[in-house]
A = this chain, B = another copy of it.
Amino acid sequence: MSQDSEETRKSEAAAWFAELRDRICAELERVESELTGPHADLPAGQFERKAWERPGGGGGVMSVLRGRVFEKAGVNVSTVHGEFSAEFRRQIPGAADDPRFWASGISLVIHPRSPLVPTVHMNTRHIRTTKAWFGGGMDLTPMVPETPDREEFHAACRSACDAHDQGYYPRFKAWCDDYFFIKHRGEARGVGGIFFDDLDSSGVQADGWSRDFAFVRDVGLAFLDVYPRIVRRHMNAPWGEAQRQHQLMRRGRYAEFNLVYDRGTKFGLMTGGNVEAILMSLPPLASWP
């Protein structure tokens, strides 16, 4: 591929992740402003942004909202580049002989105040070494049993997948179930969604990169469509103290998963990533009763 084309693709991907961030933040602020139920007496939350630089190259922007619907919503974008250390080269596709990498992505975790509103995680990213691929996914964690949410969320995942490849949804759903499993508890973190990595159709199809990028954009748009809908359905309903206590316990499990198993978290912490951005996924309040 020409240098120009490679640079264009990097720009397009990074620009999309930033645009998606803007649209998601705007929509979450809209949801904040619409609350009429519990905590409507509090002011509607707004995102605050904080830029950071990566010593090795590049940086990112954290957007955090501490509001009345969303107790803590963190939306991070970053675009970084540099060289993988010797110990990581062999673990990363295409980095064994040339350690240079470029990576851009969006990552978010939302912890709503109401136990009736599910917690959610979404991430999409583009990584380039001597290879280039996309990864990401989205998964839902209802704090109280809520079957319609699960079905609706999965329908949105399936729909985003099916428009691109009928094989994606079954494969990426299974991958998600496998990934977001708290082994020592013997329980799933939530009700799943989709998870994918190493997505690279460029060797298979002439316009493989563009098709993969289109799929990744659709995952982001599916999130933007389905999650606010689920939030609006529940956010005005009253809840009880027992439900809140159950939510805090479930959030403890969420923290356990992220700190013990999540590859992105561990990779970031071990390689000197931005700790504040990496750990923004942790719940505002959690319990181990």
A interface residues with partner B (beta carbon < 8 Å): 66, 72, 183-185, 248, 252, 255-256, 259-260, 266, 269-270, 275, 279, 282-289
Which residues of chain B are within 8 angstroms of A279 by Cβ–Cβ distance?
A: 256, 288
Which residues of chain B are within 8 angstroms of A275 by Cβ–Cβ distance?
A: 184-185
Additional 20 contacts, C-beta under 8 A, given A255-B288, A256-B279, A286-B286: A66-B289, A72-B288, A184-B270, A185-B275, A248-B285, A252-B282, A255-B255, A255-B286, A259-B259, A259-B260, A260-B266, A260-B269, A282-B288, A283-B288, A284-B287, A284-B288, A284-B289, A285-B285, A285-B286, A285-B287
Oligomeric state, in number of copies?
A: 2
> With the chains together, A117 CA to B184 CA distance in Å?
31
- 24 residue pairs of the A-B complex, CB under 8 angstroms, read A66-B289, A72-B289, A184-B269, A184-B270, A185-B275, A252-B282, A252-B286, A255-B255, A255-B259, A255-B286, A255-B288, A256-B279, A259-B260, A260-B260, A260-B266, A279-B288, A283-B288, A284-B287, A284-B288, A285-B286, A285-B287, A286-B286, A286-B287, A286-B288
Q: Which residue of B lies closest to A281 (CB)?
A: B288
Which residues of chain B are within 8 angstroms of A256 by Cβ–Cβ distance?
A: 259, 279
Which residues of chain B are within 8 angstroms of A184 by Cβ–Cβ distance?
A: 269-270, 275
> With the chains together, A255 CA to B279 CA distance in Å?
13
Q: Which residue of B lies closest to A252 (CB)?
A: B282
Q: Which residue of B lies closest to A183 (CB)?
A: B269
> With the chains together, A14 CA to B72 CA distance in Å?
46
> With the chains together, A289 CA to B259 CA distance in Å?
16
- Min CB distance, A58 to chain B, in Å? 19
Which residues of chain B are within 8 angstroms of A286 by Cβ–Cβ distance?
A: 252, 255, 285-288
